[in-house]
Structure 1
Amino acid sequence: MTSSVTTVRSADGSEITVEAIGSGAPIVLIGGAFNDRSTVTGLAATLAPHFTAIGYDRRGRGGSTDATGKFAVESEVEDLAAVIEYAGGAAAVFGHSSGAALALEGVLAGLPIDKVALYEIPAVVDGNRPEPPAEVFDRLVALIAAGDRDSAAELFLTEQVQVPAPVVEGMRNSPVWEFLCAQAPSLPYDVAVCGPSMRLQTDRYATIATPTLVINGDQTTPWMQTASKALAAAIPGSRHVVLPGEDHNILNQPAPLEPLLREFFVRG
């Protein structure tokens, strides 16, 4: 089964690269920080026998441009709106990590999202982890303006996500580091969509009426498990599923998601 790649134009003129595979009802797949459309191709392939799976490069990543560089959540919501319009005017949405936060912003903005599935939103709730320093966003913007992608990637990982420094150093000395640095110019969007404090926006999410599936793995970091549980509790009528043996890197081996998402997106 072959995929098709095209570009759509967002409201501010940014060009967003979109890749679709399969046939049937459309599902838009949104990756998180350091992800471009290539990181959701495995999941797209597992869904393609049943749906039209659509991945895209969030602005400033891969083949997508960023016409304004304002790092505003509204810009990414407009991008998602353009992708949904390309999909036929309405679609289901799956979001991973900060992509889950973006999917929720799309729902809250009233985009034509039929159903939404969310995997491990990164959020602070009930003291599950310390809040990141308030100035991370501004420091990231400054590093990107200076062309220092390496330091931007390190800052995001160590202070925003709180990956231990020795682990980050190991990543720096591995082949994956080049890929991470390539996505670094878009990291302020990940901070913006999750909120500088990363606090779970319980009051806002309590207004959601869209059918919602919240997922996490039982091997992921404890604070993300807590966040998923709290998110499911905040969204009325949502369903919460814990996948045994899975962690935050599920997009690398997405097969366990396929039956769960297929059942949810077909039946709700």
Structure 2
Amino acid sequence: METITTPSGVTLAFDRFVGGAAGTVILIGGAFGYRKFPKMVELAEKLADEYKLTVINYDRRGRGDSTDSPGVYDVENEIEDIAALVAAAGGSAALFGWSSGAGLALRAANSGRIPGITGVVAFEPPFVVNRQEFVPAKDLEVKLHQLVASGNRGKTVSFYMTKAMGVPRAFVAVMRLTPFWKELKATANSTPHDWAVMKDFMRGESLRPADWAGVTVPTLVLAGGSSGRLLRNGARAIAEVLPTAKHVEVAKLSHNPKIDLLAPPAGEFLVGLARKADQ
């Protein structure tokens, strides 16, 4: 484990997987994600071993071994975190984001604050672009912040999964009986950071090209053919408004992905970025 301290005083913990000379990528997890999550580790290892990428797999603020800014939930702070990680990577890196982590990767690239970003892989950013499936309540943030402040992590997990992510209550009830529930509770208090990233783009409204004009680096938007329609629609919608994006839907891939299906398109794209940089 390595650590850095950001300008705002947050300590970020990360693992560095050194694969070769094919460039560097920073992995950004989604809601409840953390760097020791088995599939994040598997993805990091595969990108390093098979695609010769150097991979930085970090705990976003409030998760794992990273510290937090309790009560302060602002996407600009997480963009600052990514800037610090890019600097730690040597000044340039691509970003791979999963779910709300994909939304954060795109917002970081869009910010213009990190010139060292070389490209983005966005895996199923949860944009809600119509009202045909699920739209979170407008006042969700108030209740979420109250639950986090109360310290009831179990209720926070249930609330965020059902009200922000649209997970059926019956599925959440089953998850409570699994060993994984403990891991969800451990990262529950970080969910306001995910909401800060995504809240403006989960209102059931079409995405506007002007809001994303700053994403000028090569971008791959990935979706799974076995994922729900909401996620597939969101991935297609953001790819359509980005200036330089390619959209790929991978058969049999889901939001809880098999890494053997997710890694190839991501790895090939990221290696391609490094090759273009060398030309």
Aligned runs of 1:122-137 on 2, under 5 Å?
122-137=126-141
Q: Output the CA distance in 2 between the equivalents of 1:257 and 1:9.
A: 31
Aligned runs of 1:201-216 on 2, under 5 Å?
201-202=207-208, 203-216=210-223
1:234 has 2:241 as partner: yes
Comparing 234-243 with 197-206, which one deviates more in the overlay? 197-206
Q: Output the CA distance in 1 between the equivalents of 2:172 and 2:67.
A: 28
Q: Output the CA distance in 2 between the equivalents of 1:83 and 1:208.
A: 19
Tell me if structure 2 keeps the 8 A contact 1:100–1:119. yes
Residue 276 of structure 2: aligned partner: none
Tell me if structure 2 keeps the 8 A contact 1:128–1:226. no
Pick one of 35, 42, 57 that aligns with 1:37.
35
Residue 263 of structure 1: aligned partner: 268
Residue 182 of structure 2: aligned partner: 178
Q: Output the CA distance in 2 between the equivalents of 1:178 and 1:68.
A: 21
Aligned residue pair count: 262
Displacement of 1:143 in angstroms is 1.0
What code does the residue aligned with 1:26 have? T
Residue 24 of structure 2: aligned partner: 26
Q: Output the CA distance in 1 between the equivalents of 2:264 and 2:183.
A: 30
CA spacing shift, 1:67–1:160, aligned 2, 3 Å: closer
CA offset digits 1:29-73 (Å, max 9, x no partner): 001001001121110000112111111000000000014530111
Tell me if structure 2 keeps the 8 A contact 1:218–1:242. yes
SS at match of 1:189: helix
Comparing 23-32 with 92-101, which one deviates more in the overlay? 23-32
TM-score (norm 1): 0.94
Q: Output the CA distance in 2 between the equivalents of 1:68 and 1:89.
A: 29
SS at match of 1:38: coil
Residue 48 of structure 1: aligned partner: 48
Aligned runs of 1:49-128 on 2, under 5 Å?
49=49, 50-67=52-69, 69-110=71-112, 111=114, 112-128=116-132
Q: Output the CA distance in 1 between the equivalents of 2:192 and 2:219.
A: 26
SS at match of 1:208: coil
Q: Output the CA distance in 1 between the equivalents of 2:25 and 2:56.
A: 6
Q: Structure 1: any 5+ residue segments left out of the alignment? A: none
1:15 has 2:22 as partner: no
Tell me if structure 1 keeps the 8 A contact 2:161–2:172. yes
Q: Output the CA distance in 2 between the equivalents of 1:263 and 1:177.
A: 34
Tell me if structure 1 keeps the 8 A contact 2:53–2:271. no
What code does the residue aligned with 2:3 have? T
Q: Output the CA distance in 2 between the equivalents of 1:20 and 1:217.
A: 27
Tell me if structure 2 keeps the 8 A contact 1:12–1:68. no
CA offset digits 1:149-173 (Å, max 9, x no partner): 1111010011111111111100111
- Identical residues among aligned pairs (%): 37
Q: Output the CA distance in 2 between the equivalents of 1:159 and 1:69.
A: 20
Residue 249 of structure 1: aligned partner: 256
Tell me if structure 2 keeps the 8 A contact 1:132–1:197. no
Q: Output the CA distance in 1 between the equivalents of 2:200 and 2:214.
A: 22
Tell me if structure 2 keeps the 8 A contact 1:121–1:227. yes
What code does the residue aligned with 1:51 have? L
Tell me if structure 2 keeps the 8 A contact 1:215–1:240. yes
CA offset digits 1:53-110 (Å, max 9, x no partner): 1110000000000145301111111111111111111101100000001001110122
Q: Output the CA distance in 1 between the equivalents of 2:102 and 2:234.
A: 12
Displacement of 1:126 in angstroms is 2.9
TM-score (norm 2): 0.90
